[in-house]
Structure 1
Amino acid sequence: MASAITTLAADAPTLSAANTGFMLICSALVMLMTPGLAFFYGGMVRVKSSLNMLMMSFISLGIVTILWVLFGFSLAFGTDSGSLIGWNSDYVGLSGIGITELWDGYTIPVYVFAVFQLMFAVITPALISGALADRVKFSAWVLFSALWVTVVYFPVAHWVWGAGGWLFELGVIDFAGGTAVHINAGAAALGVILVIGKRVGFKRDPMRPHSLPLVMLGAGLLWFGWFGFNAGSWLGNDDGVGAVMFVNTQVATAAAMLAWLGYEKLRHGSFTTLGAASGAVAGLVAITPSGGSCSPLGAIAIGAIAGVLCAMAVGLKYKFGYDDSLDVVGVHLVGGIAGSLLVGLFATGGVQSDAAGLFYGGGLAQLGKQAVGVFSVLAYSLVVSAVLAFLLDKTIGMRVSEDVEVSGIDQSEHAETAYDFSGAGGGISSRGTAAPAPVAAASKKVDA
């Protein structure tokens, strides 16, 4: 992602209506990804917890927006302090920003940059929620989300993208969020599930998606919104880099979907809709950090590698015994690691920067930098997220009771059901009615 730079007064940019409009559209596209994620996750769970899954994503639009305005933007993109965190009192409440004040070195207003970055902050904790399906109190999730973005996301965003952030200064390439978003969320998911434990019936009861059409709808919305997520991260449209990223986003996603389906057919004998949706998301994740530094041919390779690796990784939870409900670790952590490290191999040195990867004569230097970025963010997020989950579990409790989990978290936490099979309605007036029976789906997640 482009970051603040210093320019001479004579070269200072002026506000561009075209770039400003483009970035506002990209911001709206990224916002759409969070409801898309809610559908993607909501279709993958059993019917009795589908509303809860939708809400765990949707609530992030409320929590993170307010925190971002109050202090999050200042922490992430304010003046650097020790290469670890930022602060600018003018950004607190977004109250000291002029309406035409430009983001330093660019042709878009600070307000536009702030709202674009807000949408990244919103979706990142929502990504974590997929690992925790069926078993977490909604109130505990709300508090965890607020604490997590404050002590994990905001600092990591500064490390990676903020002027003066230590990973930014090191030269780690993360065009749109492989480390700050996907590795960050995937590692956090792993940290939390190691604390709160498995679902009742894990590896024993069928836990198939209740609505594959919802999954496909969600995947389509994610794919659509991801063009804003990726192409917009160059913060303008003047030099063609955003256009390359747009093309690479499409190309890598297509390659990953085909690679996942190929692996699935060879390993399990079928091409599943869930595999197609999951493969597409794996490709989107992997190209996020790398698409601004590679060619379209490199994007095909990155997508194909990520599709196979993520398809293989989703079965690790059965081997190692951690209950990653909707494969956040297998897709976002593994895909984010793959895409971030592959920059060190496929960077051409001719797109977003002159940093070249191993295959383009750059040696191992960039790969080493990428590894530092990957594993520092992974370790920090994993440890801090586990500590936050542990403290919340020991105080207010993270999990619902076993009876609630078995009967359905939707009724207990939200006083609603997703589908009205009785004709009595699905809202609070129907709390006394019997919960609907789970609907079996025709497909399930790839198991290794």
Structure 2
Amino acid sequence: MSLRTVALRLLPATLLLLAACSESNPKTDTASAKEETMANTADAIDHSKSASPSVSEKPSATATAAKPTAAPDTAYAQDVAMFLGGLQPSQHSDLKQLAATPAWQAFAKDQDKSWDKYRATHTTRMTQWANTELDSVHASSPTIFYPFSGPDFLNVVTMFPTSQTYVLMGLEPVGSIPARATLENPRLLPAVKTSLWSVLNFSFFRTNDMAVDLKSVELDGALPLMMLFAARTGNQITAIRPVQLDAAGQLQDAPKDSIAPPGLNQKPALVKTIPGVEMKLRGPNGQPKTVYYFSADLSDWKLTSKSAPLEFVRHLGPLTTYVKSATYLMHKSYFNKVRRTVLRRSRYILQDDSGIAMKYFQKGAWHFNYYGTYRRPINLFAKQYQPELTAAYHDTIHPPKQLPFGTGYNWRQTDSNLLLAKRLVPLAD
């Protein structure tokens, strides 16, 4: 365990959250659009975040005509997912020898303990709650859109286990399936453990610290953790392929060079596309699932010239949107495009108070169910306080319902909230 991790565990929870989200000199909504981007917001939240390359411009003819990369070895991908998750790889896996080492055995034992605790405090309660409160939502939610998600397949599949397609978007690079040399790195297992600690204890990622930890052991993006979460939620990986979006938001096979780690002399034409990955799964009950992750900046300034992410979303049909621990980005005027897409294309929206501010929901167009407790946001986000939510949570005629688990920045069960918005008017064209 690193000294930094030990220090974090000794800090009070409030200081931990401030360390996870420390923002200096936040800009106002009236600032120049060129200054206000999703990437800039992430930089402000944690100064340790390294600069990430621009990832979404109109692709050139060269990029679209490039030869698709070969599909990765699915059996190897599943074994890697199991190995990273502290689960025994398959009997004939080349990783079986690595899994027999004392270091991995200790890691696996520790992970079992952590995941058992997480199931007791989160997964079991979330599943029971979702089966009751989201029953009708599940029946009408083949596709889930999860903006600002990072690699968090864990929470979305727990909330929506019967959905068929999950579309995740975040700033983190896509990443690739770890090579054998990476899995042999003695620093790998401590880095994975450190990176998972906050999501298993607080339900959200300390994203930028996670990026630093994983980059140090050559885990180069969201995919390795998505694979880990798939394995730990009982899903079997059946296929993984790198993909990209063209200017019209159409899905394409990605040339191999287009998902190379930052700084590897990528050709300018290739970095202009929206890089992504498609992960095919077989669920615990045999149901096929498809998970997409796209590395994209969803701020208005980026989407003005690089609208492919939202074009892709608009062609998915009716959505259920899930938003959690989203740093209140859609409260702000310069995230109008993604907010408007969510409001126009969603039949249901499940979010904590960091999602879409109540003032943006059209009056009479939505029915709201409130869960848990709404207090003021943590100090970092104090300006995003919503008096409308306070009034709703103090409604004695229609009081909020209980929320039996913690979620979001106010991660304690007694402080957490969720809002389920159901559309009452037809979807926009």
Q: TM-score, normalised by structure 2?
A: 0.29
Q: TM-score, normalised by structure 1?
A: 0.28
Higher relative contact order (CA 8 A, sep 6+): 1
Structure with the larger helix share: 1
